[in-house]
Amino acid sequence: MPDHHEPDDEHRSSAPAGGDEPRRDGSPRPEPTDDLVETHHQLPVPGGELSYTAVTGRMVLREEQLDDGTFGGHRARAQMFVVAYTLDGTDPATRPVTFAFNGGPGSSSVWLHLGLLGPRRVVMGDAGTLSPPPWGLADNPETLLAHSDLVFVDPVTTGFSRVVEGGKAGEYHGFQRDLESVGELIRLWTTRNGRWLSPKYLAGESYGTLRASALADHLQTRYGLFPNGLALISSVLDMGTIRFNEGNDLPAALYLPTYAAIAHYHGLHPGRSLDEVRAEAEALAADAYLRGLARGSRLDPVERADLVQRVASLTGLSEDFVSQCDLRIEHQRFFRELLRHRGLVVGRLDGRFAGWEADDAGEKPTDDPSNVAIHGPYSAAINHYLRAELGYRSDLSYEVLTGRVQPWSYAEFEGRAVSITSMLGRAMRHNPHMRVQVACGYYDGATPYFAAEHAFAHLGLPSQLLSNIEMRYYPSGHMMYVHEPSRLRQSADLAALVSANTPD
């Protein structure tokens, strides 16, 4: 990770934010204030033009303090960066609003903002046809703003979001405090903008789907704020479905259909359709493969040899390699091994991408070719766009994807798997009108689609609520909107989701 600036007085209009204690020289810390810039824009769309207002900047989060039972004030703790778009001339009481964020942990909201939902989008090309730097921006006539107001949220330490001067950023680098801070930001924005009666949606990607699902439960129980729907993009609700930990065979089976899809994309299933290959992989993963893995060393040698052959055929790997892995193909090993014969490594976020390694004998990739391809265009775009088009100027580093949030705390899950399936199940049972749209990329090697299906089959829902879950699939990767046909179709799918509760 590159070096990063701390949030001191580099910001053009925000004085250093006040913590609980005076500065070391004894002088008081200035009280922080919101730092927001308003701009007005027009976007040509088929059949007309959208006129909208953008409000960009940092909102101060405050917490009520109780010291030994005594009220100690409403103290500033963090400044969270948001970009909010509201369509001009609409009724706030009936106009939907969607709160969007990405994951990581450690990711800003840039990907959903400039890749899919916002009124402007990145121009970068796609796998095999990438554009050269410095890339660019274009209007996004498919923006969700045509159907819903949008609020993009950067969690603490991502984007321009920081704790106040004298605060400890690490307090926010964990499941619970992240949940509380993003939830408070949503409550605060909703209250200040008079949007309690608006239909409300949460859109999260990757770890952001875990956050959004838990937020639905948190917002309902803490504030009585009931969302109308969730858009879960590249979903992970149960970390046990994707973590290749000792004794956990589940990911090996749940990754198999994704391995098969990536192998198909790279021409290792000649004469067969993607649907045919996936169907075979799903059937094997859900039955004989899972049972064979559970048998361990008790697996009959003949049955083992048959599984080795079938898994190798589907994944495009050699039978020797599959056998040497004891049928348990860790995902990073797969990304390195699949195209080793071509001197290439495939992407984790998007298996359609491929790149080179310095050492062709390495066990695992040193870099993810898909992440490398995507990171530069989005970084250039957001740093230009916020300053030049939205008028927010800062010398801070905009943290697109930072490791400064690590280690991330899952203290609330000590002694058990990190899973929020029970929280989402409770939120849906308490709010039977809430719809959940789950977007999956066939070539996503970070949050495989079969793992998402597994998690959503274990929410503990009554049969009457199962129809509230919509599964959507795209022939792309983790950021499925990088693939232009997928972006267009996903935009239409999301428009249908947020339009469902909009009065005629």
Which DSSP category does 316 fall into?
T
Regarding whether 173 and 225 lie in a shared domain, the answer is: yes
19 inside domain? no
Query: 309 and 232: one domain?
Result: no
Q: From 368, 383, 400, give the residue that closes a domain.
A: 368
Say whether both 236 and 248 belong to one domain. no
**Who has greater pLDDT, 10 or 180?**
180
Of 368, 394, 429, which marks where a domain is finished?
368
Regarding whether 233 and 336 lie in a shared domain, the answer is no
Element (H, E) at 236: none
- For residue 62, the enclosing domain spans 35-240+373-499
Q: Is residue 16 part of a domain?
A: no
Q: How far is CA 466 from CA 429, 437, 441, in A?
A: 11, 12, 21
pLDDT in the model for residue 70: 74
Angle between helices 175-192 and 207-223 (to 10 degrees): 60
What integer pLDDT is reported at residue 500 of this predicted model?
82
Give which of 348, 352, 400 is closest to 122, Cα–Cα: 400
Q: Are residues 320 and 445 in the same domain?
A: no
- Hey, what are 270's tokens? 């000649």
What is the total count of domains within the chain? 2
Residue 359 has pLDDT above 50, yes or no: yes
H/E segment holding residue 201: strand 200-206
Q: Is 29 contained in some domain?
A: no
Q: What is the mean pLDDT of residues 268-294?
A: 97
Measured distance between the N- and C-terminal CA atoms of the chain, rounded to whole angstroms: 49
- The predicted-structure confidence for 444-457, as pLDDT tens digits, reads as follows 999 999 999 999 99
429 has a pLDDT exceeding 90: yes
Is 467 in contact with 435 (CB distance < 8 Å)? no
pLDDT value, residue 63: 85
For residue 81, what is the domain's CATH number? Answer: 3.40.50.1820
Same domain, 104 and 219: yes
Residue 171 lies in a domain: yes
**pLDDT tens column, 184-202:** 999 999 999 999 999 999 9
Of the ranges 4-8, 26-30, 165-169, 266-270, which one carries the lowest mean pLDDT score? 4-8
**Do 305 and 380 fall into the same domain?**
no
Given 368, 397, 425, the domain boundary residue is: 368
Check whether residue 41 and residue 176 sit in a common domain. yes
Contact 174, 409 (CB under 8 A): yes
Say if CB 92 and CB 198 are below 8 A apart: yes
